[in-house]
Structure 1
Amino acid sequence: MLVLGAAAAFSLAAACVKALDGAVPLAEVVLWRNLFAIPALLPLMVQHGGLAALRTARPMSHAARILFGLLGMFGSFYGLAHLPFAVVSALGFTMPLFLTVLSVPLLGERVGWRRSLAVVVGFLGVLLIVRPGEAGEGAGALDLVAAGAVLLGAVGWALAMITIRRMGEAGEEAVTIVLWFAIGSSLVAAVAAIPVWVWPTPGQWLLLAGVGLISALAQVMMTNAYRTGESTLLAPFEYSAIVWTVGMGFVLWGEVPHISAAAGIAVLIGSGLYIWHREVTLGVKR
């Protein structure tokens, strides 16, 4: 239930970003998303010794994790301003595909023909969603720049996952990783936001607060779910987010996925679930 709740909460936070409709600069959205999340993380920091939770011997690893996480956040937030809600959610599910590909050179993993084929099929699903030959034309045509940004963001999230795994294997505490990302990403986003700064309206303040607080709640729920449950059994339930984004996209913005996009979403999710199944069978750790 916690994973389902976290998936719903992450979808609601993304809906807050989409509701901003690009009126607040992207860097500023990222800044407030992280700043509003920090108070929710303070109890976690206190539980782990206060400022001692920030002690680390791996500053460069944290810098890389911050960079990759910001790439993922900027990519998905840009997509939310320019693409249908469900499409952004679906393209975000390419992260396991990129993670599988990148694990070969970066983690030295061996990927067999079954997972390799699933990755290829998954990217064929992406083509069905994006339909690059129809960019800017016809019903359901998508902004290819925005789609590319979301895919680049998925690469960022995959690299962040690999970095977190390496840090965890080296003994870094999860709370230290979470806290440094919140602090570091806020600082970077603040610098990037200065040249384009605008003061949000009261309604925009509510949406920005919603992005940060709901995201923090979702992260806590997801962390608790994986702490108390078997990760290999919980992972598939993260795909329930697509149900929420399709539903909210229809109710809030009247969005109905194009038939080609719907088929592509099904193919992409099926591919991701098959990769998960093979990794469970092979005992691959994520």
Structure 2
Amino acid sequence: MKPAPFDYVRAESLDEALSALAEGGDEARVIAGGQSLVPMLNMRLARPAILVDVMHIRGLDRISEAKGRIEIGAGVRQVALERWAPLSGMLPLVAAMLPWVGHAQIRSRGTVCGSLAHADPSAELPLALLALGGEVRLRSKKAKRVLSAADFFLGMMATAVGPGEMIEAISFPTHAIGTGTAFREIARRHGDFAIVACAAVAKPGGAVRLAVGGVADIPQAVALPDPSDPGFDDQLNEFAWSLNARDDLHASARYRRDLVRELGRRTVEEAIQCRS
């Protein structure tokens, strides 16, 4: 299939991109790596009048550290973050997740921010943003704003990005000493979207944060006690039911709940063991 007709703007500066988005309003879409948007265009699930290409804007392809946070620009490809030398020390959870994001060919073109903008509930990077308390920096021609993951994801493939806005960058807090992280995923094959994915963050002497993707319309997180606590299994079971799993061609709702309980426990235990 072929996409519906659209105008194309190859932005050479952020101002040019924001001006094109402001002019296009609801009919304009940002394109970066295109690994999510292009298939939607070809199947005519998306029919923007204007595509604004931001991959030629200087500075958007930077990964930087400042004030205890790692900032990733809108032009950073997934493979660039995966190969960023400090990643395993500064963001070990993201380092563990990235090899599960699609396949190598997809990561070589897809962008980190593009995956977040697409907001597939089974994708790994939205789960990382929620688990780690990441933030999304949005920008339009007139304003800037920063949203938490909880405020950014609104529903299945729906975000808080408004008309004329684009994701300029995202940021994660750097890994703190004494914190343990872990990631586990079940998919039909490595690189496919997750049937269930679990990410856990265990801070020293405190509750463990467990985030789950692939079940609800958006990633969800819960604070849990140590697995040795008598109430752990009940709280995890309650969380599994709260995700309102549904049957689909990949798995039944019951199987997904079972995975949340079993995979969730293993991920939490691993995160606690990895505290350093």
Q: TM-score, normalised by structure 1?
A: 0.22
Taking CA–CA contacts closer than 8 Å with sequence separation of 6 or more, which of the two structures ends up with the larger relative contact order? 1
Q: TM-score, normalised by structure 2?
A: 0.23
Q: Which of the two has greater helix per residue?
A: 1
